[in-house]
Amino acid sequence: MNAKKQFGQNFISDPNLITKIVDLLGNEKDSLVIEIGPGKGALTKQLVKRFKKVIAIEIDRDMEDILNKEINSENFELIIKDALEVDLRELIAGENKKYDYKNVFLISNMPYYITSEILFNTLDVHDLLTKAVFMMQKEVATRVCAKVNENNYNNLSIACDFYATTKYEFTVPKKMFRPIPKVDSAIVSLTFNNDHVNDVKDPQKFISFVRQLFNNRRKTILNNLGRVLGDKEKAKDVLNKTQISENLRPENIDLDQYINLYNNSY
């Protein structure tokens, strides 16, 4: 069967690579794993052996027979559906009750065309998750893991940092995939924590506030904050109170400072 480009199908098969990825979830049997885009089951085969329950969400109906044949295991459930249309909260905490498991993991060799949607959907259910392990394009991985003052630092890096400890685990050269894609990939892990979530009243509004501040990353924080608040004088006042220089650019401001900015803006 030909790989379907429109579904971002680039398969892996190297057993060492697969083990290296799955190892990032550890060995605790008492875990629920949600996999997005199992494809032909490269990762899934190891996951069902290691963990109590595995639910895979795959958009391509042609994979159904292959998967059901490959993964002949009672702890495996397949949902043929667009992952972006699956209510992850309901899936994890509804019928499959999160509290029946010690850990809830999310794993995906991501279909690259929906990387940021999957990331933001994952962050939305951060409170239900222990850890997520994602393969993504290397360039996106460096953005997700970027630190303040680095070129790639943006609202995605801050959103991930807000909910989790983010780690660039390792690079995966493009030759490891079939068909071979144009660019290299990387594995990123997010270990969720509550270190910052309680620092703001409305986390989702905070994430959207930061996104808007990055709309014009070449402009100063004063300009961006003035636009977001619709009031330049108020922006000046907030920057003054938080002791953040008006001339900094969005990429020069760290997570704690963004939290401070948000709390003083609303």
Ligand X SMILES: C[S@@+](CC[C@H](N)C(=O)[O-])C[C@H]1O[C@@H](n2cnc3c(N)ncnc32)[C@H](O)[C@@H]1O
Q: Which of residues 17-36 bind ligand X (CB under 6 A)?
A: 36
Q: Decide: helix, strand or coil at residue 260.
A: helix
Using rule CB under 6 A, residue 38 touches ligand X: yes
State how far the alpha carbon of 41 is from the alpha carbons of 13, 66, 130, 198, in Å.
9, 8, 22, 38
Using rule CB under 6 A, residue 11 touches ligand X: yes
Instruction: For 210, list phi and psi in degrees, rounded to 5.
Output: -65, -40
Tell me, rounded to whole angstroms, the distance of Cα 228 from its chain centroid: 26
Q: List all residues 6 or more positions away from 85 whose beta carbon is below 8 Å from its beta carbon.
A: none
Q: Which of 47, 54, 60, 262 binds ligand X (CB under 6 A)?
A: 60
Q: Which is nearer to ligand X, 48 or 239 (CB)?
A: 48
Q: Which is nearer to ligand X, 40 or 131 (CB)?
A: 40
Q: Which of residues 73-102 bind ligand X (CB under 6 A)?
A: 82-84
Provide the CB-side half-sphere exposure for 235 (13 A, CA).
17
Assess contact for 105 and 34: CB atoms under 8 A: yes
**Shortest Å, Cβ 82 to ligand X:** 4
Using rule CB under 6 A, residue 180 touches ligand X: no
Stretch that binds ligand X, among 5-13, 68-76, 97-105, 143-151 (CB under 6 A): 5-13
Instruction: For 14, list phi and psi in degrees, rounded to 5.
Output: -65, 120
Tell me, rounded to whole angstroms, the distance of Cα 52 from its chain centroid: 23
10 marked as part of a ligand binding site = yes
Query: DSSP state, 153?
Result: -
Stretch that binds ligand X, among 6-14, 98-106, 193-201, 205-213 (CB under 6 A): 6-14
Stretch that binds ligand X, among 9-17, 97-105, 158-166, 212-220 (CB under 6 A): 9-17
Give me the residue whose beta carbon is nearest to ligand X: 37
Using rule CB under 6 A, residue 39 touches ligand X: yes
Query: DSSP state, 82?
Result: -
Q: Which is nearer to ligand X, 84 or 195 (CB)?
A: 84
At 226, list the tokens. Answer: 């003035």
Using rule CB under 6 A, residue 59 touches ligand X: yes
Chain residues that interact with ligand X, rule: CB under 6 A: 7-12, 36-39, 42-43, 57-60, 63, 82-84, 109, 111, 114
